[in-house]
Amino acid sequence: MVRQGRVIVNGDFAELGQRIDSAVDRVEVDGLRVQLDPTKQYFLLNKAEGVITTTKDPEGRTTVLDVIGIHERVFPVGRLDIATEGLLLLTNDGELTHRLTHPSFEVTKTYVAEVAGSIGRGVIRKLTVTGVDLGEEELFKADAVRVLGSRKGPGGNRAVVELDVHEGPKHLVRRVMEAVDRPVLRLVRTGMGPLKLGRMKTGSYRHLTQAEVDALYREVGL
Ligand code: URA
């Protein structure tokens, strides 16, 4: 069965054969906005450790743009530390970038951190309820913390913990974990709103699907 999508252009039902300007008109199919502008580019990179989140580096280090090797002017959405791995979106969609990175839109970013030490109830409570003093106006609280694993080793305990946060100051996760005395040994971003890293190989990249772009648009109310 072919499913008939309900197409709305700028708030009105589309007419058969209606022409649209993809750069200006707002098109929705079954209630979901569709990004049709062919000049808009969206890449998802699984950033490797050692790659820097900038478009040019005066010191000649490998940048995220070197990795995806494209000449279109796309920019990273937010930044990951040089040592941090994982999900990095690159796009030339300025409004989407603004909304995904501005704290007022409260887009959840998910990180998986391997830390030194174990994570018990006390640490989780501090991270989510009591809050952590980072020297800012308010105490920092994570939206959620999940312990994914822990092990004892000759050099001490290690834990793997997943954190949902919606703020973006520099080195946030490393600073927060340092503040609870669980320094980060490895950090990977695995999610940004509805966008998930999934099983991409470190250092690989791909175009976002239309469904992923739509989901990001919806997340930030575009
Ligand atoms: N928090 C950090 O500490 N580093 C990152 O790269 C991202 C979030």
* Predicted local distance difference test score (pLDDT) of residue 39: 83
Gap between the Cα atoms of 73 and 142, Å rounded: 33
Number of Cβ within 10 Å of residue 156's Cβ equals 9
The mean pLDDT of 179-186, rounded to a whole number, is 97
Q: What is the pLDDT of residues 42-96, one digit of tens each?
A: 999 999 999 999 988 899 899 999 998 876 689 999 999 999 999 999 999 999 9
Q: Measured in angstroms, how far is the CA atom of residue 52 from the centroid of ligand 1?
A: 12
Name the residue with higher pLDDT: 35 or 39.
39
Q: CB–CB of 219/213 below 8 Å? A: no
Which atom of ligand 1 is closest in space to residue 111's alpha carbon? 8
Which atom of ligand 1 is closest in space to residue 165's alpha carbon? 8
Given a cut of 70, whether residue 2 has pLDDT beyond it is no
Q: Whose CA is nearest to atom 2 of ligand 1?
A: 171
Q: Which residues line ligand 1 (CB under 6 A)?
A: 80-81, 84, 171-174, 187
CA angle at residue 63 from 218 to 186, to 5 degrees?
75
Identify the sign of the CA torsion 213, 214, 219, 222: positive
Which atom of ligand 1 is closest in space to residue 81's alpha carbon? 6
Gap between the Cα atoms of 193 and 112, Å rounded: 15
Half-sphere exposure at residue 155, Cβ-oriented, CA atoms within 13 angstroms = 5
Range of lowest pLDDT (20-29, 50-59, 166-175) = 20-29
Number of H helices, E strands in the chain: 5, 13
For the chain, domains (ranges, CATH) are 1-39 (no CATH), 42-102+198-219 (3.30.70.580), 108-192 (3.30.70.1560)
Calculated CA dihedral for residues 217, 72, 74, 187, nearest 10 degrees: 110
Q: Which residues are catalytic?
A: 81
Identify the sign of the CA torsion 46, 48, 51, 53: positive
- Residue 35: closest CA among 217, 198, 189: 217
